[in-house]
Amino acid sequence: MPRALVTGGAGFLGSHLTDKLLANGYEVVVMDNYVTGDPRNLAHLKDHPSFEFIEHDITEPFTLDGSLDRIFNMASPASPIDYQQIPIETLEVGSYGVQNCLDLAKEKGARFLQASTSECYGDPEIHPQVETYWGNVNPIGPRSCYDEAKRFAEAMVMAYHRAHGVETRMVRIFNTYGPRMRLHDGRVVPALMGSALRGEALTIFGDGSQTRSFCYVDDLLEGICRLMESDEHLPTNIGNPVEMSILDFAKTVNEVVGSSQPIQFDPLPENDPKIRKPDITKAKTLLDWEPTIDLRTGLMKSLDYFRARVTEETEA
Ligand code: NAD
């Protein structure tokens, strides 16, 4: 049975990835320090015979007993609220954390995949963003702890690939949403779904003309797993290229929830990217991958989860 390590596996994406790997016949070890993760995301796997959880901060050196075939490094705070509260930890997990995982990949002869991000492109000057674009990132702004950590991580991955011949993969993830996101992590999907379900106004930043493209979690993970099994070591965008304004997104949330909450406009935060859309030509060609779940369907699939979390919050 192949064996995989998922760091950050108690988080939103990592826990879904763990489910998928188990379903695909992997033995899975999850490592997480719960800094932004939630034990409830893995509670259903407690008695699964192929699942193991290790509570550990990956910025501290570690090893594992036994063989290891794949490492998916998903560990990092990912929402602006999270990483701006713990900027030093975010830089550490993107540097020491990534290096510790790469050392383990080298020791075990395991293939390593780094969860990188569209934030590597910063506030992009080209649209849509293609993998060969080097980005427009403010190295000292409030988002720099995340953006530069992720850019450093990519450099470290390339260095291990070149200097040590480690088999590496890099996915540049664009905005992804779905069940298990935290209601108050500051990302636009849980924020607006939460407000609509509570019967509150939907707050958007700026005039709402900035655009985003939203990918449903199942689509993203299919792309990530295909990339891991491909031969491509250079960064590959995975995301949904259907672009919409934040204002239209808020209207869609109202429709999906069946609410008609007013939309409230707040000032735009510093360095908020104005446009974001992946060019997925590479993933289509190389991996025969493209998203299959449209926004409305994905939001409907997430509705019960967000409703349950809002109910829980109201009852607490
Ligand atoms: P998340 O916050 O839900 O999950 C991150 C997980 O990493 C958490 O469980 C957290 O506890 C764990 N973690 C953080 N630091 C750690 C450390 N030092 N040691 C061990 N565990 C640690 O975020 P997510 O949305 O699931 O994101 C997962 C990965 O995907 C991140 O690397 C993120 O940068 C990347 N990503 C996500 C998106 C998205 O839209 N969700 C977009 C781009 C990139």
- Are 130 and 189 found together in one domain? no
pLDDT for the residue numbered 287: 98
C-alpha 280 chain-centroid distance: 17
- Are 93 and 234 found together in one domain? yes
Does the pLDDT of residue 311 top 90, yes or no? yes
Does the pLDDT of residue 285 top 90, yes or no? yes
Choosing from 36, 119, 171, 277 the residue with most ligand 1 atoms within 8 A of its CB, the one to mutate for a pocket test is: 36
Residue closest to 215 by CA, chosen among 114, 102, 293: 293
Does 93 contact ligand 1 (Cβ within 6 A)?
yes
- Are 120 and 205 found together in one domain? no
The answer to whether residue 208 is domain-embedded is yes
Q: What is the CATH number of the domain that holds 183?
A: 3.90.25.10
Does the pLDDT of residue 294 top 70, yes or no? yes
Does 58 contact ligand 1 (Cβ within 6 A)?
yes
Residue closest to 183 by CA, chosen among 30, 45, 32, 316: 316
pLDDT for the residue numbered 315: 86
The answer to whether residue 287 is domain-embedded is no
Choosing from 74, 157, 213, 219 the residue with most ligand 1 atoms within 8 A of its CB, the one to mutate for a pocket test is: 74
* Structure-token match 């569209």, residue found: 118
Are the C-beta atoms of residues 212 and 274 closer than 8 Å to each other? no
Does the pLDDT of residue 280 top 90, yes or no? yes
Residue 146 annotated among the catalytic residues of the structure: yes
Does 114 contact ligand 1 (Cβ within 6 A)?
no
Taking the centre of ligand 1 as the mean of its atom positions, its distance from the CA of residue 252, in whole angstroms, is 26
Number of CB atoms found within 10 A of residue 315's CB: 6
Say if pTM beats, i.e. exceeds, 0.75.
Answer: yes
Taking the centre of ligand 1 as the mean of its atom positions, its distance from the CA of residue 187, in whole angstroms, is 13
Report, as an integer, the average pLDDT of 42-57: 98
pLDDT for the residue numbered 272: 72
pLDDT for the residue numbered 271: 67
Structure tokens at 174: 């664009």
pLDDT for the residue numbered 262: 96
Tell me which of 100-104, 200-204, 220-224, 268-272 is least confident: 268-272
pLDDT for the residue numbered 85: 95
Q: Residue with the nearest Cα to atom 16 of ligand 1?
A: 75
- Are 143 and 201 found together in one domain? no
Region of 90 on the Ramachandran plot (φ > 0 left; ψ -120 to 50 alpha; else beta) = alpha
- Are 190 and 297 found together in one domain? yes
- Are 134 and 168 found together in one domain? yes
Q: Give the C-alpha separation, 106 to 162, whole Å.
A: 12
Taking the centre of ligand 1 as the mean of its atom positions, its distance from the CA of residue 4, in whole angstroms, is 17
Q: Residue with the nearest Cα to atom 22 of ligand 1?
A: 75
Q: How many domains does the chain have?
A: 2
Taking the centre of ligand 1 as the mean of its atom positions, its distance from the CA of residue 98, in whole angstroms, is 12
- Are 121 and 205 found together in one domain? no
Report, as an integer, the average pLDDT of 38-57: 98
- Are 206 and 122 found together in one domain? no
Q: Give the C-alpha separation, 41 to 85, whole Å.
A: 22
- Are 225 and 92 found together in one domain? yes
Report, as an integer, the average pLDDT of 83-96: 97
- Are 161 and 185 found together in one domain? no
User: Which residue in 26, 83, 146, 216 is the catalytic one?
Assistant: 146
Domain that holds residue 263: 177-212+242-277+293-315
pLDDT for the residue numbered 224: 98
pLDDT tier for residue 273 given thresholds of 50, 70 and 90: confident
Q: Residue with the nearest Cα to atom 15 of ligand 1?
A: 76
Tell me which amino acid residue 108 is: K
- Are 191 and 255 found together in one domain? yes
Sequential DSSP letters for 233-261: -S-EEES---EEEHHHHHHHHHHHHT--P
Tell me which of 21-35, 64-78, 135-149, 271-285 is least confident: 271-285
Q: What is the pLDDT of residues 235-271, one digit of tens each?
A: 999 999 999 999 999 999 999 999 999 999 999 877 6
pLDDT tier for residue 316 given thresholds of 50, 70 and 90: confident
Task: List, in order, residues 6 or more apart from 2 with CB less than 8 Å away.
Answer: 25, 26, 27, 69, 70
The answer to whether residue 282 is domain-embedded is no
Q: What is the CATH number of the domain that holds 226?
A: 3.40.50.720
Region of 266 on the Ramachandran plot (φ > 0 left; ψ -120 to 50 alpha; else beta) = beta
